[in-house]
């Protein structure tokens, strides 16, 4: 590891320059895809990875599958990058990300082959446990963060969504190598099953209104790009929705469903609470009723308000796909994402991150 870090430090100026080009070309379309509502444009106006190389603190070879080598790398980077996001949201505001610190475990899978260089493809992902830690501060250049209400939270939610949906295991990036066309379909992430999640009701929600009561609705998702929304129950802190959503599951062992409750408001909706449901303990094709405590955030380190936010009752049933069902789910997923992109382009929704009411996914 010491030798590897020494070589990485030597090569970093060249690696950083090449990586900057790749990141700009590959991440900007992702920023557009995950752009939150209220922001009309989100791009890099400046991107440099700086001169401080990352550190590798440990390497472990995992159990080997035939034709593959899996390696987990303890990765730490406290660099000095210069990253400025150009944000358009009624006003134009450059936002600098400062004091970037990254602590994570990177899983790298090498797909072996007989032809030189003996590796046909590489899979890269961030392990979900321990949770990747990416710390940074946000600074407005030539303006104030208050110019766009809720901007810091928007940026944080966007970064979290991209990591969760694109990089965090079981999601991964597959990179073919060697210049020879290879079939990487076995390395790609595929739907494993579906979760039938019924949002039954919530109890004792926190009231966000000065006059009257909150107007709550719930949003459910496993992937941030596939969010579904209940109806709004007006003026009620104990709403009953009783709506069922079908969510795609890619890895039952590591994934969880997220349920958020919001108060619908003119301007911007306020989060009343959030909860997560691990899928690993669900028995196939057996419905289970679960009482989830609502929290201000899933990140326990960021919770300052310890007051009770109520609870939400859900019913969950997991179904494992057959091969035929898996193929149909893949086609349906592509169709759904295509429809959301069209809705965004048509102005029906502001972003592919918006939760939608989908009659094929909702009943009740």
Whichever domain contains 293, its CATH number is 2.60.40.150
- Average pLDDT rounded to a whole number, residues 130-143: 81
Would residue 331 count as lying in a domain?
A: no
Pairwise pLDDT comparison (268 vs 245), residue with the higher score: 245
Question: Per-residue confidence at 359, pLDDT binned at 50, 70, 90?
Answer: very low
Would residue 33 count as lying in a domain?
A: yes
The rounded radius of gyration (Å) of the Cα atoms in the chain is 22
Beta strands in the chain (DSSP E): 41-48, 55-61, 68-77, 82-89, 91-112, 119-126, 133-140, 173-176, 193-203, 216-221, 227-229, 240-249, 256-263, 270-278, 288-293, 311-320
- Average pLDDT rounded to a whole number, residues 106-133: 81
Evaluate if residue 352 carries a pLDDT over 70. Answer: no
Residues 132 and 74 in one domain: yes
Domain range enclosing 225: 193-322
Which of the listed residues 176, 201, 229 is the one where a domain comes to its end?
Answer: 176
Residues 172 and 200 in one domain: no
pTM of the model: 0.69
Residues 7 and 150 in one domain: yes
Which pLDDT score is estimated for 123?
Answer: 84
Which pLDDT score is estimated for 107?
Answer: 87
Which pLDDT score is estimated for 347?
Answer: 66
The pLDDT tens digits for 21-73 are 878 887 887 787 777 767 778 888 888 888 899 999 999 888 667 888 888 99
Strand-pair partners of 149? none
Would residue 335 count as lying in a domain?
A: no
Residues 156 and 246 in one domain: no
The pLDDT tens digits for 270-292 are 889 999 999 999 999 999 999 99
Would residue 360 count as lying in a domain?
A: no
Pairwise pLDDT comparison (178 vs 193), residue with the higher score: 193
Residues 250 and 140 in one domain: no
Q: pLDDT exceeding 70 applies to what percent of the chain?
A: 88
Would residue 347 count as lying in a domain?
A: no
Residues 142 and 224 in one domain: no
Q: Count up the domains in the chain and report the number.
A: 2
Which pLDDT score is estimated for 260?
Answer: 95
Residues 44 and 150 in one domain: yes
Instruction: Give dist(CA 334, CA 332) in Å, integer.
Output: 6
Pairwise pLDDT comparison (179 vs 328), residue with the higher score: 328
Nearest to 127 by CA among 274, 251, 297, 9: 251
Evaluate if residue 91 carries a pLDDT over 90. Answer: no
- Average pLDDT rounded to a whole number, residues 148-157: 74
Helix axis angle, 151-162 to 2-33, nearest 10°: 120
Which pLDDT score is estimated for 315?
Answer: 98
- Average pLDDT rounded to a whole number, residues 129-138: 81
Residues 49 and 165 in one domain: yes
Residues 133 and 235 in one domain: no
Which pLDDT score is estimated for 360?
Answer: 34
Residues 232 and 105 in one domain: no
Residues 144 and 216 in one domain: no
Would residue 118 count as lying in a domain?
A: yes
Instruction: Give dist(CA 41, CA 94) in Å, integer.
Output: 11
Residues 20 and 147 in one domain: yes
Question: Per-residue confidence at 325, pLDDT binned at 50, 70, 90?
Answer: very high
């Amino acid at each position: 590891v010491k030798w590897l870090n020494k070589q990485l430090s030597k090569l970093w100026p060249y690696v950083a320059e090449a990586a900057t080009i790749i990141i700009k070309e590959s991440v900007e379309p992702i920023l557009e895809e995950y752009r939150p509502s209220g922001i009309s444009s989100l791009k890099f106006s400046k991107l440099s990875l700086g001169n401080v190389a990352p550190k590798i603190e440990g390497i472990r070879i995992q159990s080997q599958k035939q034709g593959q080598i899996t390696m987990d790398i303890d990765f730490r980077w406290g660099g000095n990058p210069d990253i400025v996001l150009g944000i358009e949201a009624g006003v134009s505001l450059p936002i600098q990300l400062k004091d970037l610190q990254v602590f994570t475990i990177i899983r790298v899978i090498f797909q072996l082959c007989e032809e030189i260089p003996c590796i046909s493809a590489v899979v890269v992902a961030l392990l979900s446990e321990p949770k990747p830690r990416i710390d940074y501060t946000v600074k407005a250049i030539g303006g104030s963060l208050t110019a766009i209400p809720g901007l810091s939270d928007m940026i944080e939610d966007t970064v979290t969504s991209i990591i969760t949906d694109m990089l965090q295991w079981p999601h991964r990036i597959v990179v073919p190598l060697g210049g020879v066309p290879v079939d990487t379909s076995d390395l790609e992430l595929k739907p494993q099953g579906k979760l039938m999640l019924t949002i039954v009701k919530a109890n004792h929600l926190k009231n966000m209104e000065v006059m009257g009561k909150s107007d709550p609705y719930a949003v459910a998702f496993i992937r941030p790009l596939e969010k579904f929304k209940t109806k709004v129950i007006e003026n009620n802190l104990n709403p009953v929705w009783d709506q069922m959503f079908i969510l795609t599951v890619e890895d039952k062992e590591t994934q969880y469903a997220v349920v958020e409750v919001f108060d619908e408001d003119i301007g911007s909706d306020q989060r009343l609470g959030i909860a997560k449901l691990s899928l690993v303990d669900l028995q196939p094709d057996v419905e289970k009723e679960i009482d989830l405590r609502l929290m201000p955030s899933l990140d326990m380190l960021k919770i300052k308000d310890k007051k009770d936010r109520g609870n939400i009752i859900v019913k969950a049933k997991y179904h494992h796909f057959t091969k035929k069902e898996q193929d149909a789910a893949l086609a349906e997923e592509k169709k759904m994402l295509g429809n959301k992109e069209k809705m965004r382009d048509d102005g029906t929704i502001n972003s592919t991150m918006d939760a939608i009411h989908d009659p094929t996914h909702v009943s009740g």
